Amino acid sequence: MLRIGDIKLHNGLILAPLAGITDSSFRKICKSFGVELVFTEMVSSEGIKRKTGRTIKYLYFNEVERPIGIQIFGSNAESMKEAARIIETDFHPDVIDINLGCPVKKVTKTGAGAALLKDLRKLEGIVKGVVSSVNIPVSAKIRLGWDKNNSIKVSKLLEDCGISFLIVHARRAKDGYNIKADWSVFERIKRNITIPLVANGDIEKPDDATYLLNEIGVDAIMIGRGAIGRPWVFGKMKDFIKHGRCSAEPTLHERIKVFLRQIELMEESIDEERTVRRIKKQISYYLKGIPETKNKTHEILTTKRLDKMVSLISGLISNTYIAGSRRLYPV
pLDDT in tens, 6-32: 899 999 999 999 999 999 999 999 999
Same domain, residue pair 265 and 191: no
pLDDT of residue 24: 96
How far, in Å, CA of 206 to CA of 216, rounded?
15
Same domain, residue pair 231 and 263: no
Say if residue 118 is exposed, middle or buried (CB neighbours under 10 Å; 0-12, 13-18, 19+): middle
- pLDDT digits 0-9 by tens, 269-292: 888 888 998 998 898 898 887 766
246 labelled catalytic: no
- pLDDT digits 0-9 by tens, 117-161: 999 999 999 999 999 999 999 999 999 999 999 999 999 999 999
Task: Quote the mean pLDDT of the chain.
Answer: 92
Domain count, the chain: 2
Same domain, residue pair 276 and 236: no
Same domain, residue pair 224 and 276: no
Is a pLDDT exceeding 90 seen at residue 331?
no
- Residue 49, domain CATH: 3.20.20.70
Residues in the chain, how many? 331
Q: Are strands 7-9 and 2-4 parallel, antiparallel or unpaired?
A: antiparallel
Structural domain span for residue 180: 2-243
Catalytic residue among 30, 102, 161, 246: 102
How far, in Å, CA of 224 to CA of 243, rounded?
24
Question: Is the residue at 330 inside a domain?
Answer: no
pLDDT of residue 292: 67
Last residue of a domain, one of 243, 268, 286: 243
The contacts of residue 127 (CB under 8 Å, 6+ apart) are 98, 100, 138, 140, 158, 161, 162, 163
Say which residue, 273 or 203, is predicted with more confidence: 203
- Give the DSSP per-residue string, 19-68: TTT-SHHHHHHHHHTT--BEEPPPEEHHHHHHT-HHHHGGG---GGG-SE
Residue 30 one-letter amino acid: C
- pLDDT digits 0-9 by tens, 183-197: 999 999 999 999 999
61: left (phi over 0), alpha (psi -120 to 50) or beta: beta
Same domain, residue pair 163 and 257: no
Question: Is the residue at 58 inside a domain?
Answer: yes
Same domain, residue pair 267 and 221: no
Give the H/E segment covering residue 16. Answer: none
Is a pLDDT exceeding 80 seen at residue 329?
no
- pLDDT digits 0-9 by tens, 222-272: 999 999 999 999 999 999 998 888 888 898 889 999 999 999 999 988 888
pLDDT of residue 54: 86
Same domain, residue pair 7 and 145: yes
- Residue 282, domain CATH: 1.10.1200
Which pTM does this prediction carry?
0.92
Bridge partners (DSSP) listed for residue 266: none
How far, in Å, CA of 301 to CA of 289, rounded?
17
Same domain, residue pair 216 and 84: yes
Buried b (16+ CB within 10 A) or exposed e, 86-108: bbbeebebbbbbbbbbbbeeebb
